[in-house]
Amino acid sequence: MRFRHRAAAGFATLLLPFAGLVGLASPAQAAASATATYAKTQDWGSGFEGKWTVKNTGTTTLSSWTVEWDFPSGTSVTSAWDADVTSSGTHWTAKNKSWNGTLAPGASVTFGFNGSGSGSPANCKLNGGSCDGGTTEPGDSAPSAPGTPTASGITDTSVKLTWSAATDDKGVKNYDVLRDGAKVATVTTTSYTDTGLTKGTDYSYAVQARDTADQTGPVSGSVRVRTTGGTTEPPPTGDKVKLGYFTEWGVYGRNYHVKNLVTSGTASKITHINYAFGNVKNGQCTVDDTYAAYDKAYTADQSVSGTADTWDQPLRGNFNQLRQLKAKYPHIKVLYSFGGWTYSGGFGQAAQNAAAFAKSCKAVVEDPRWADVFDGIDIDWEYPNACGLTCDTSGPAAFKNLSQALRNEFGQNYLITAAITADGSSGGKIDAADYGGAAQYLDWYNVMTYDYFGAWDKTGPTAPHSPLTSYSGIPKDGFNSAAAIAKLKAKGVPASKLLLGIGFYGRGWTGVTQAAPGGTATGPAPGTYEAGIEDYKILKSSCPATGTIGGTAYAHCGSNWWSYDTPATIAGKMTWAKNQGLGGAFFWEFSGDTANGELAAAIDSGLK
């Protein structure tokens, strides 16, 4: 997938230049009636995500708040949201924004940050006083994380949870029980029975300790629970996998949101969604654009549920919209996809310690705030032991080792998949890694049978970017879907673990005079977002197909030449996929389709 780009920086989570800034404002008021508590919500080894919660525990309204703390040398804030954060050496100060400084009695507000290093805050002060609401008492640490809950006594409507106790220097007062990231109970013991659940439904549970000063510690690991009962009806779309990629950055310039899957009718025609992309940094999985992923607020008319997000709800953004989509369409499974063309550079380092990488990925996928959203993980390494945007020299065994580590960490109840090269040439990218050996650990491969040819070869020859089969005059042997699938089968990958890839876009050249494939060109054709590429929803009208070759369509209009799939060519590819015994098909990506989802509908119809 050559054109996976990040959102424009201006839309992403606010990044602040902390180094060298000094902003130590005078305390607005005494802190005897407010508390500030800290929790580390993610940790990926060399960095982490932290969250502060400021709560008004008094009887009068707070008009502003300032939280101060010290980090040990080597630990620092790198980005922040919902507060203005500055530093002076190792001392850090966070002040409220203009819109979240006023706190009525009993109200609370949170702000968060990404940090580097491994230290924890010390010497916390809120508005000049102690963060626990009393006099300043250095050393009053937050409690430790409790043990990961164990589930037992699971029925149609209830589950019993037990966990090992947290520790605290001044004593643990109670525990908050979190279901799917939201608090459902506060208990004084290390067990809780959750009732009133829905039968045959998946839930995720974690717990968090509170000390005698009402400080909360880190959230425990999470446990997934499925209540008994219910039905196990197959999805309405049949037994083949029909998977689409949803791009994190599509909510910006493309204005494509999870609700579009509903309004287009596509949600009822797919079985799986790959959410693209998580990043791979320092050999670890991490969320990329945190604003789009879990902070962007949706109005009632924009949301899947028809309910507006509130400023203080535990989860917003794409993740919450996906949660709402799954509630509306229970057959859909969602996988978190990491890597892609832009972010594959971190996989080489990840392969050096595959177990640590897998552990970091599970921590992201199972974050208590959204653990119920994701049913698995997809690894999009472009390309192991070969070159993509960067070149990898991990060796032919690295991909298999990484796949095995993921399965060992995630277990058998998660889907684990990989998007892989479709280079079927002799000595090409399929031959560079042990895809056959890795297949035993994976549920399926998304074989990227597109982007074979394009205007990166500026003068041509023109050729379809997603040929199903070879044809006379094809620019390179092995660059077609049939060759890639045959090679993977020959390496021992079961046909049922192979999905055929479809592009919901076209690739094109300009300066072309020859209508048939094989003509010369002068460069890439103009595109809405990038030269040489355009969505199907645009091309179907702006440059209608004039012929087919190799099982896909092409079009010559004016001096431009495009190739792309249509509902008719998709129907032919789906027939071929069924005849080959493939596990189904996938596509890149939802926003390229028409408003009524005609390409997704063609995949659905073709695989029935």
Give the pLDDT confidence of 497-530 residue by residue, as tens digits.
999 999 999 999 999 999 999 999 999 999 999 9
pLDDT over 80 (residue 155): yes
Q: How does pLDDT run across 65-99, given as a tens digit for each residue? A: 999 998 888 888 988 888 999 998 889 999 998 88
Chain CA centroid to CA 166, Å: 30
The domains spanning 9-130 and 150-226 adopt the same CATH topology: yes
241-503+565-606: CATH superfamily: Glycosidases (3.20.20.80)
- The pairing of beta strand 272-281 with beta strand 241-247: parallel
For residue 229, count other CB atoms closer than 10 A to its CB: 12
Alpha carbon 242 to its chain centroid, in Å, reads: 19
pLDDT of residue 238: 58
Please give the positions annotated as active site. Answer: 382
Q: Say whether domain 9-130 belongs to CATH 3.65.10.10.
A: no
Owner of token pair 């070149």:
391
Tell me the domain boundaries of the chain.
9-130, 150-226, 241-503+565-606
**In the chain, pLDDT over 90 holds for what percent of residues?**
67
- Model pTM score: 0.70
Neighbouring C-alpha atoms within 13 Å toward the C-beta of 95: 14
CA distance 89 to 62: 29
Q: What is the pLDDT of residue 510?
A: 98
- Burial (Cβ within 10 Å: 0-12, 13-18, ≥19) of residue 288: buried
Convert 543-571 to b/e letters by CB count within 10 Å (16 or more is b).
Answer: bebeebbbbbbbbbbeebbbbbbbbebbe
Calculate the average pLDDT of the chain: 88
Comparing 466 with 228, which gets the higher pLDDT? 466
The Cα–Cα gap between 177 and 216 comes to 12
Give tens-digit pLDDT for 530-553: 999 999 999 999 999 999 999 999
Query: Which of helix, strand or coil describes residue 607?
Result: coil
pLDDT tens track for 11-28: 333 333 333 332 223 333
| Structural contact between residues 67 and 94, judged by C-beta atoms closer than 8 angstroms | yes
In CATH, which of 2.60.40.10, 3.40.50.10210, 3.40.190.10, 2.60.120.260 is domain 150-226? 2.60.40.10
Phi, psi for residue 111 in degrees, rounded to 5: -140, 155
- Spatial distance between the Cα atoms of 131 and 287, rounded to a whole number of angstroms: 29
Using CA atoms, how far apart are residues 126 and 122, in angstroms rounded to an integer? 12
Q: Is the pLDDT of residue 267 over 80?
A: yes
